[in-house]
Structure 1
Amino acid sequence: MILTEFDYVRPAGLDEALTLLSATRNARVLAGGQSLLPDLRAGTVRAGLLVDIRRLEELRGITRTPGGPRLRIGALTTLAELSADPLVLAGAPELAAAARANGDPQVRNLGTAGGNLAAGGRATDLPVAAIAADAEVELAGPGGRSTVPAERFAADGAPAGTVVTALLVPAAGPAAAFEKTADRATRYPVCATAVRITPGGPRIAVTGATARPLRLRGVEDRLRGGPYTTDAVLAAFRAEPRELFVPGRGTSAEYLGHLAGVLTARALARAQALA
């Protein structure tokens, strides 16, 4: 039962949704509802107005962008759709794997790409894969459309009055992977890592074990040029400052740093095999 009071509206288009969000104090976007509704039930989030964008077809679908090797993933694309889409499986397999690792079938059938990216305060799976893929988050607001790097979006979130409209992902081929150790009760990651091997070296990002999804540039530099053996990866992670890893229930910084290294080694091995 949701004990807070709020108004509800279902706009006919994105412009109407943006007007409502800008004009109403404490308005919130309702998409899949897999994060927002539990928060409303628990009373950890308050909303004066829910702006239901679930029927805005312009925010759905996965396509290649004109004139460039990028995928445009609409914000209302469900995690189930994202995990099985042929374009994503071929060009950004770390995103498909991250979507497939979320929750259970009901969560994946209702949860959306945009909602997973914007679920502030939760260690969800998609942001870390987006960071490893060098993706950008597309936003619509009163001033028009803009894009921000996925890493910056993970740190700052969406500005007030804006809506996540798409994720723009370089389609670099199969040399990418995602690995996760999940909390058994919530399915949120205790630690998840995503990697993408590029001509300039690996891109590596971690979530769950850190305060927010982070790209680990220090580890990348230590592994540049290879080899990506388990020993080399674990040595690179041991050189990271322990305060980077945030202890959780029954875990220490040392354990989480080691776990992140093990998962990253597995992901790099899988990415190399796929390549």
Structure 2
Amino acid sequence: MILTDFDYARPAGLDEAVALLTGTPGARVLAGGQSLLPDLRAGSDSARLLVDIRRLAGLRGTTRTADGRLLRVGALTTLADLASDPLVLAEAPELAAAARANGDPQVRNLGTAGGNLAAAGRPTDLPAAAIAAGAVVELAGPGGRSTLPAEEFAARGAPADAVVTALLVPAAGPAAAFEKSADRATRYPVCAAAVRITPDGPRIAVTGATPRPLRLRGVEDRLRGGPYDTEAVLAAFRAEPRELFVPGRGTSAEYLGHLAGVLTARALQRAERALA
């Protein structure tokens, strides 16, 4: 039972959805509902208006952009579809693995890529993979279409008057991976690491153990040129400031820093094997 009062609207198009969000302070976007609806039930969140975008055309599915360099993942693409999409598996495997790691089958069948990216205050898996991939988030707002780097989007959150429409992901082939240690009760990550090996060196992002999904540029610099063996990766993580890792229930900053290093080493080694 949801104990908060709100109005409900199902816009016929994206422009109408943006107008509803812009014209109603406290309006919220409803997509898969896997984060928002539990919070409304618990009373930990509220909404004056739910703007249901689930039937908007053109926001589902994954395609390659005309130049072939990017994958366009529609915001309403379910996590289950993202996890099994052959194009994503071939060109952005860290994204597919992160989608597959989310929740349980019901969550993956209903939860959406856009909702997972925009789930404020929840350590979801997709943002770290998007950051490691160098992806950008596409938004539709009152000023038209705009984009934000995934890292900046994770820091700022979704604007209240905008709709996430797509995730634009550089196509990279198999040189990417995702590893996660999950909380048994919630399936949220105690720590998760996403990596992508590029000609300029590794891109590494971590979530769960950090205040928000973060790209670890210091670790990247220390590992530039390799090797990616476990001891080298752990040494790179030991050089990071301990305050980067936020202790949680039954964990310490030292433990989380070590766990992040172990998961990153596994992901880098998996990505490296895929290149061989």
Q: Counterpart in 1 of 2:201?
A: 201
Residue 68 of structure 1 and its aligned partner are, at CA, apart by: 3.8
What TM-score results when the alignment is normalised by the length of structure 1?
Answer: 0.99
Q: Counterpart in 2 of 1:156?
A: 156
| 2:64 corresponds to 1:64 | yes
Q: Counterpart in 2 of 1:52?
A: 52
Corresponding letter in the other structure for 1:267 = A
Provide the rounded CA distance (Å) in 1 between the counterparts of 2:192 and 2:161.
30
- Give the 4+ runs in structure 1 shifted more than 2 A: none
Provide the rounded CA distance (Å) in 1 between the counterparts of 2:83 and 2:152.
24
- Spell out, residue by residue over 1:26-79, the C-alpha distance to the aligned partner (whole angstroms, 9 max, x if none): 000000000000000111111000000000121111100112410000000000
Contact 2:28 2:160 in 1 (8 A): no
- Spell out, residue by residue over 1:118-165, the C-alpha distance to the aligned partner (whole angstroms, 9 max, x if none): 000000000000000000000000100000000000000111210000
Q: Counterpart in 2 of 1:222?
A: 222
| 2:113 corresponds to 1:113 | yes
Provide the rounded CA distance (Å) in 1 between the counterparts of 2:149 and 2:68.
17
| 2:99 corresponds to 1:99 | yes
Please give the residue correspondences for 1:1-275 in structure 2 after superposition, counting only pairs within 5 Å: 1-275=1-275
Provide the rounded CA distance (Å) in 1 between the counterparts of 2:29 and 2:37.
11
Provide the rounded CA distance (Å) in 1 between the counterparts of 2:62 and 2:229.
35
Provide the rounded CA distance (Å) in 2 between the counterparts of 1:198 and 1:57.
34
Provide structure 2 residue ranges, at least 5 long, that are not aligned to the other structure: none
Provide the rounded CA distance (Å) in 2 between the counterparts of 1:67 and 1:261.
36
Contact 2:4 2:43 in 1 (8 A): yes
Residue 113 of structure 1 and its aligned partner are, at CA, apart by: 0.1
Provide structure 1 residue ranges, at least 5 long, that are not aligned to the other structure: none
- Spell out, residue by residue over 1:68-98, the C-alpha distance to the aligned partner (whole angstroms, 9 max, x if none): 4100000000000000001100000000000
Provide the rounded CA distance (Å) in 2 between the counterparts of 1:76 and 1:259.
32
What TM-score results when the alignment is normalised by the length of structure 2?
Answer: 0.99
Provide the rounded CA distance (Å) in 2 between the counterparts of 1:262 and 1:138.
32
Residue 206 of structure 1 and its aligned partner are, at CA, apart by: 0.2
Provide the rounded CA distance (Å) in 2 between the counterparts of 1:33 and 1:160.
16
Provide the rounded CA distance (Å) in 1 between the counterparts of 2:150 and 2:35.
19
Corresponding letter in the other structure for 1:75 = A
Provide the rounded CA distance (Å) in 2 between the counterparts of 1:68 and 1:27.
36
Pairwise CA RMSD: 0.5
Residue 25 of structure 1 and its aligned partner are, at CA, apart by: 1.5
Corresponding letter in the other structure for 2:260 = A
Corresponding letter in the other structure for 2:230 = T
Provide the rounded CA distance (Å) in 1 between the counterparts of 2:165 and 2:31.
11
Q: How many residues are matched?
A: 275
Provide the rounded CA distance (Å) in 1 between the counterparts of 2:9 and 2:216.
41
